[in-house]
Amino acid sequence: MNLATKINLVLGVTFVLALAVVGVNSYLLTRDNALQQVTDQAELIMQQALAVRSYTVNEVRPLLGQLGDAGFHPQTVPAYAATQTANLVAKERPDFSYKEAVFNPTNPRDRATAIEERIIDRFIADPDLTKLVGTEEINGVESLYISYPIRITNPGCLACHSTPEKAPAAMRAIYGDDGGFGWRLNQIVGTQMVVVPYTLPAQLAQKTFISFILSLAIIFVILFVAINVTIRRLVLKPVRRITRMADEVSKGNLRDAELKVSGKDEIADMLTAFNRMRRSVIKIVQMMRRMQAEAKAKARPKT
Ligand code: HEC
């Protein structure tokens, strides 16, 4: 194997190893970043929904209560306010959603789907769990969800969610007696769940990863060419010249001109040393030839 091949082999192996290590690292990093970004988005939507809930309880309900009309206004129900505003947002961004999903809902639109039921079951199985974050394919879209358990901690909730008889008649007139009843104190009845699409950030991470690897590959190719050209010019060419010259000297050809030396590096030193050695060899050879001639002349019988 010649020198250039060996060097290129080392470069190639280094390149592949570096690409693998840096590639995997950068992929994980961009993916984590993307996940973080989407999680932040989902958290924001959740905070928004919680804010709408407390706004409704603290500011809307007391005002409507003052009106003193006997009707029931779902607008005073925090779950309704949060869901309605989230649905308005979802009109613009259909992939984003907020839902208060329960097993036994007052409003049928809040009925838990199979995925939501699974999440509620996990909250029921582990009462210490306060939050679940995960990715899941929802309606054909790779999505990230954040879920909080809905636990009935306030006895006031049972005024409308225990038995139909206890609930306001005006509410029953709208919602009927079928759902949203039978809830007990401290029971986990459902989950507040935010879903945001995860496809875009995942694609973004993939794109970043590919362009990173491509730039790295381009840098390596440039480096590869530069190192090869440099080695060829600075090392391989002078070494070949020395080899050729040494070959000629060993065959007894002493007439060729000396090797040209330029610069001041180790190769130049080697060329100078080689020229010096060649000169010495030439001197020795010439001396031996002279001695041979003299010996011949001496040996010839005098006439
Ligand atoms: C004045 C009656 C009333 C009170 C008090 C009340 N709710 Fe509700 N709740 C409703 C109505 C009506 C709905 C249906 C709203 C809609 O149409 O979206 C609802 C819906 C919900 C939902 C959405 C799921 C579903 O059943 O449709 C949750 C969760 C919920 N309530 C939890 C609570 C909690 C927790 C409390 C106590 C902090 C509470 N509610 C107090 C009347 C009430």
Last residue of a domain, one of 190, 206, 222: 206
If asked whether residues 148 and 261 sit together in one domain, one would say no
What's the pTM value of the predicted model, to 2 decimals?
Answer: 0.74
CA of 121 to the centre of ligand 1 (A): 20
Measured distance CA(94)–CA(100) in Å, rounded: 17
Total domain count, the chain: 2
Domain-embedded: residue 247: no
C-alpha distances out from residue 291 to 120, 294, 295, Å = 108, 5, 6
Domain-embedded: residue 109: yes
More confident residue, 74 or 64: 74
If asked whether residues 189 and 278 sit together in one domain, one would say no
Helices 199-231 and 3-55: crossing angle in degrees, nearest 10, is 160
If asked whether residues 122 and 11 sit together in one domain, one would say yes
Q: Which of 84, 157, 174 to mutate to test the pocket of ligand 1 (most atoms within 8 A of CB)?
A: 157
If asked whether residues 281 and 171 sit together in one domain, one would say no
Measured distance CA(153)–CA(16) in Å, rounded: 58
CB of residue 49 inside a 6 A radius of ligand 1: no
Could you read off the pLDDT of 255-274 as tens digits, one per residue? 888 888 888 889 999 999 99
If asked whether residues 113 and 259 sit together in one domain, one would say no
If asked whether residues 59 and 167 sit together in one domain, one would say yes
How big is the CA angle at 29 (ends 26 and 35), to the nearest 5 degrees?
A: 140
If asked whether residues 276 and 177 sit together in one domain, one would say no
Torsion of CA 126, 129, 133, 137, to 10 degrees: 20
Q: Which of 77, 150, 174 to mutate to test the pocket of ligand 1 (most atoms within 8 A of CB)?
A: 77
Q: Are 71 and 169 in contact (CB under 8 A)?
A: no
Torsion of CA 158, 161, 167, 169, to 10 degrees: 160
Last residue of a domain, one of 174, 206, 238: 206
Domain-embedded: residue 246: no
If asked whether residues 8 and 116 sit together in one domain, one would say yes
For residue 207, give the nearest of 33, 16, 15, 20 by alpha carbon.
33
Could you read off the pLDDT of 205-257 as tens digits, one per residue? 888 888 888 998 899 899 999 999 999 998 899 999 999 988 988 888 878 88
- Quick one: average pLDDT of 66-88? 85
If asked whether residues 97 and 181 sit together in one domain, one would say yes
Q: Which domain holds residue 75?
A: 3-206
